[in-house]
C-alpha cells in the first residue's frame, strides 16, 4: 500500500510540474507576442507586415536539413572528399536562398479588416480579412489562423488582393472582438518558417440564441392590433394559406381543416387597410426567467413574427422599437437584444 501511495504522490507531483511548465510557457509566449506586435491592439488599418514584424526560424525539416549537412561535412573532412565539400556548400547555399525567399514571401503584405456578418450565439463568427500584395511577384501558400485553430491557406497574385475568412466560436451575445491572428509561410522548400502577428480592429455582433422552445406569440390582450403586411388584415376574407407558427389561433380555418382527412392546418387571409401590430414586451415574460432566457424567447418571437410577415414592436428596459416589419426591423430588434445591458444600442 505504501508503494502505491508513493507512486500516486509521484504522479501528482509530476502533473503539477507539467502544469507549471505549461503555464510558464503560455506566459512567455504572451510576453513575446506583445513584444512582437510592436503596437497596442487593436491595430488601425492597413496593417503592413514590415521587416521588423516578420520573424524567421527553421522548421523541424530545416533543423534535420542542417544536421544532415553537418554529418556530410564531417564525413567529407574525415575522408578528404572534394565532391563532399562541394555538395555541402551547394546545399548550404540552397538553404540560405530559401531563407531569403521565405522572408520575401511574407514581408510587406498589407492586411485590412473586411466584413463580419452578425451571428447567433452558439454559432461561428466569420471574420473576413483582405490581404493585399503591392509587389510584382505573387505570394504563395500564406497560412492564417487563430491560436491552435486549423489554418486557412491563401495565395495572392501580382499586385492583387484576396480575402481570407477565419471562423471563431461565438459563445456569448454582444460584441465579439477578432482574436490575434497569426500569418505564416514555409514556401518554397518548407525548411524555414516566417511568421508575424496581427490584431485587426474588427468586431462581430452576436445575437442571443433563439429559444428552442418558447411560449406562443403574445396575441392576447392589447398586444396585437391592426393589420399585417401582404394583405393579411382583418376586414374582408381573401383566401387560405398553410398555417405558420406565428399565426394567431383565431385565424385558423377550423371548418376547412375539419372537412379534410389528415390535411394541413390552414390560415385565413384577409384584405383591408388595417394590420395586426404585435408588441413583444420584456415585462410580459415571467419574472422568474433570467435575463438570457428572456432575450432568447424574444429572439424566437422576432424570428417567428418576421417569418409570418407580421408588423411588430419591441419593449425592452430603456429601449422602445416602434412597430414595423421587414429585414431592417428584424436586424434592429436583434441588435437591441444583443446589446442589452452592454451600455450601447
Which residue shows C-alpha cell 497596442? 40
Consecutive H or E run containing 266: strand 266-271
**Of the ranges 24-38, 41-55, 331-345, which is most confident?**
41-55
pLDDT value, residue 123: 94
Measured in degrees and rounded to the nearest 5, phi and psi for residue 161 equal -135, 155
Contact 202, 45 (CB under 8 A): no
Model confidence at 309, in pLDDT bands (50, 70, 90)?
confident
- Whether 209 shows a pLDDT value over 50: the answer reads yes
Contact 107, 60 (CB under 8 A): no
Averaged pLDDT, 180-184: 95
pLDDT digit string (tens) for 54-66? 999 999 999 999 9
pLDDT value, residue 148: 77
- More confident: 343 or 169: 169
pLDDT digit string (tens) for 128-143? 999 999 999 999 999 9
Residue count of the chain: 345
Contact 116, 126 (CB under 8 A): yes
Order of all β-strands in the sheet with 224-227? 224-227, 275-281, 311-316, 319-324
CA distances from 281 to 14, 26, 206, 320 (A): 57, 47, 21, 9
Domains annotated on the chain, with CATH: 32-207 (2.60.40.10), 224-338 (no CATH)
- Whether 300 shows a pLDDT value over 90: the answer reads yes
Query: Three-state DSSP class for 209?
Result: coil
Q: DSSP character for 285?
A: S
pLDDT digit string (tens) for 230-266? 444 445 554 455 666 656 666 676 655 565 556 566 6
Averaged pLDDT, 78-106: 94
Rounded Cα distance, 98 and 125, in Å = 36
Q: Whole-prediction pTM value?
A: 0.76
Amino acid at each position: 500500500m505504501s508503494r502505491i501511495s508513493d507512486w500516486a504522490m509521484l504522479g501528482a507531483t509530476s502533473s503539477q510540474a507539467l502544469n507549471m511548465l505549461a503555464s510558464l510557457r503560455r506566459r512567455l509566449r504572451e510576453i513575446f507576442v506583445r513584444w512582437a506586435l510592436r503596437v497596442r491592439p487593436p491595430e488601425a488599418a492597413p496593417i503592413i507586415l514590415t521587416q521588423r514584424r516578420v520573424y524567421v526560424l527553421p522548421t523541424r525539416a530545416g533543423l534535420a536539413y542542417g544536421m544532415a549537412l553537418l554529418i556530410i561535412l564531417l564525413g567529407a573532412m574525415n575522408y578528404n572528399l572534394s565532391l563532399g565539400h562541394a555538395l555541402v556548400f551547394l546545399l548550404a547555399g540552397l538553404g540560405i536562398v530559401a531563407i531569403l525567399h521565405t522572408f520575401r514571401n511574407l514581408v510587406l503584405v498589407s492586411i485590412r479588416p473586411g466584413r463580419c456578418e452578425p451571428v447567433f450565439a452558439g454559432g461561428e463568427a466569420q471574420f473576413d480579412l483582405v490581404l493585399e500584395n503591392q509587389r510584382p511577384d505573387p505570394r504563395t501558400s500564406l497560412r492564417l489562423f487563430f491560436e491552435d485553430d486549423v489554418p486557412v491557406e491563401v495565395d495572392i497574385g501580382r499586385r492583387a488582393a484576396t480575402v481570407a475568412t477565419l471562423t471563431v466560436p461565438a459563445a456569448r451575445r454582444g460584441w465579439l472582438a477578432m482574436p490575434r491572428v497569426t500569418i505564416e509561410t514555409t514556401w518554397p522548400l518548407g525548411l524555414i518558417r516566417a511568421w508575424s502577428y496581427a490584431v485587426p480592429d474588427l468586431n462581430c455582433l452576436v445575437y442571443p440564441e433563439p429559444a428552442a422552445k418558447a411560449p406562443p406569440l403574445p396575441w392576447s390582450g392589447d398586444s396585437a392590433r391592426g393589420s399585417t403586411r401582404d394583405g393579411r388584415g382583418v376586414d374582408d376574407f381573401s383566401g387560405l394559406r398553410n398555417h405558420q407558427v406565428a399565426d394567431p389561433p383565431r385565424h385558423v380555418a377550423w371548418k376547412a381543416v375539419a372537412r379534410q382527412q389528415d390535411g394541413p392546418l390552414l390560415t385565413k387571409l384577409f384584405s383591408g387597410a388595417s394590420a395586426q401590430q404585435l408588441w413583444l414586451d420584456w415585462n410580459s415574460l415571467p419574472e422568474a426567467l433570467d435575463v438570457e432566457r428572456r432575450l432568447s424567447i424574444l429572439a424566437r418571437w422576432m424570428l417567428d413574427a418576421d417569418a409570418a410577415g407580421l408588423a411588430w414592436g419591441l419593449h425592452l428596459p430603456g429601449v422602445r422599437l416602434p412597430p414595423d416589419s421587414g429585414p431592417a426591423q428584424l436586424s434592429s430588434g436583434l441588435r437591441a437584444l444583443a446589446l442589452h445591458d452592454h451600455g450601447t444600442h
